[in-house]
Amino acid sequence: MAPRSPTATLSPRQSRVVGALLGLHAGDCLGATLEFQSHGAIASRFPNGLRQIVGGGPFSWPAGHATDDTDMARGVLLAYRDAKPGDDMARLAGDNFLRWQHGEWPGRTPGSSPVVIGLATATGLGRYRESGDPDRAGAGEGSAGNGSLMRCLPTGLFQPDREKLVEESVRISSITHDDRRCTVSCAAYNAIVAELINGTPAADAVRAGEALAARLENGHHGPVHGAMATGRRVQVAAMARHGPPPEMGGRCSGYVLETLALAVAAVLDGRGLEDVLVDVVRIGRDTDTNAAVAGGLLGARDGEDAIPRAWRETLQFGDEFREIALALTTTKQTM
């Protein structure tokens, strides 16, 4: 891996692209320490929030080590890195997911299983392995966890065609999570990402995501559009102090619409990335995925330098993500 180049050499857009990937990775690693813990348990241990990436947690992660969130986002990222004209992005991503599942992955003993894999993800990958067709996989309607939202970010960063962005977001989600709440959430999230990396203010970027959700759900009363509206109403700082309110299900424990709403609330929070991500983790339960999804938006909004240097320096795939991001923003002429 080539040494880091100084962040001052990046264009604002490059910084936001790199920031998005590292924000996802950092949020995942920060939250992994406290995964599954309640708001009250976290408040008793860390009254002001956990501000360092220290590893541990229920799966004894090394500090800065990717969980399944970052690993699977990496699978999508590598698909965009390796794609040639005419390639099926969903198939490339799906094949990378199978490599991850079967142990062909950095930091793992060859052939070993992932430390953790969600039920819908395992079901969908089993069907994909059998069919070889990303459009004939998925866990089916009713499986509406956040396992595809956590990994969808690279499509928003590296697919400049907005119609293809929607198609690829939906199809890559559908490999494991084909419930429309998941597929539309991924498309709407990536619409926000695509606006943010172009320098669009957060409120306008969220409006673009809402407009796409309304289009895909045939109106403003669909569940994804409603989740984004909830994200506009709630405040991350208040939830960090008092826990998630009833309109967020009172849990934030893995439902895709809660994670999307929380990410919207995070990117609309006027504070810096570090303070917002610390507070997202303070809310509790699915702390790694909630912080990964929010971190992707915050990094796309604020850029690489908003991520504390101490966080960046400990990330397992930090240098790789940065190198790929810069290569893709150059080769695809998206600067």
Burial class (CB in 10 A: 0-12, 13-18, 19+), 83: middle
Compute the average pLDDT of residues 200-216.
98
Residue type, 219: G
Average pLDDT, the chain: 94
Q: How many whole angstroms separate alpha carbon 214 and alpha carbon 188?
A: 9
Domains, the chain, ordered by start? 10-48+65-331 (1.10.4080.10)
Q: Which residues are annotated as a binding site for Mg(2+)?
A: 67-69, 286, 288-289
209-236 pLDDT per residue, tens: 999 999 999 988 999 999 999 999 999 9
Task: Give the residues across from 61 on adjacent strands.
Answer: 56
pLDDT score at 335: 34
Residue type, 161: D
Write out the two tokens for 263: 């990410």
Quickly count: other Cβ atoms within 10 Å of residue 39's Cβ.
20
| Alpha-carbon separation of residue 124 from 41, 63, 88, 138, 242 (angstroms) | 33, 29, 18, 4, 36
Q: How many whole angstroms separate alpha carbon 250 and alpha carbon 75?
A: 32
Q: Which residues are annotated as a binding site?
A: 67-69, 286, 288-289
Which of 77, 96, 152, 84 shows the shortest CA–CA distance to 322? Answer: 77
Compute the average pLDDT of residues 266-273.
98
Alpha helices in the chain (DSSP H): 12-32, 39-45, 68-82, 89-101, 119-131, 153-158, 162-174, 180-197, 202-216, 223-233, 236-242, 256-268, 273-282, 287-302, 309-312, 318-331
76-102 pLDDT per residue, tens: 999 999 999 999 999 999 999 999 999
Task: Give the residues across from 222 on adjacent strands.
Answer: none
Stated pTM of the model: 0.95
Q: What is the DSSP string of 5-45?
A: PPGGGS-HHHHHHHHHHHHHHHHHHHHHTTTT--HHHHHHH
Q: How many whole angstroms separate alpha carbon 229 and alpha carbon 210?
A: 8
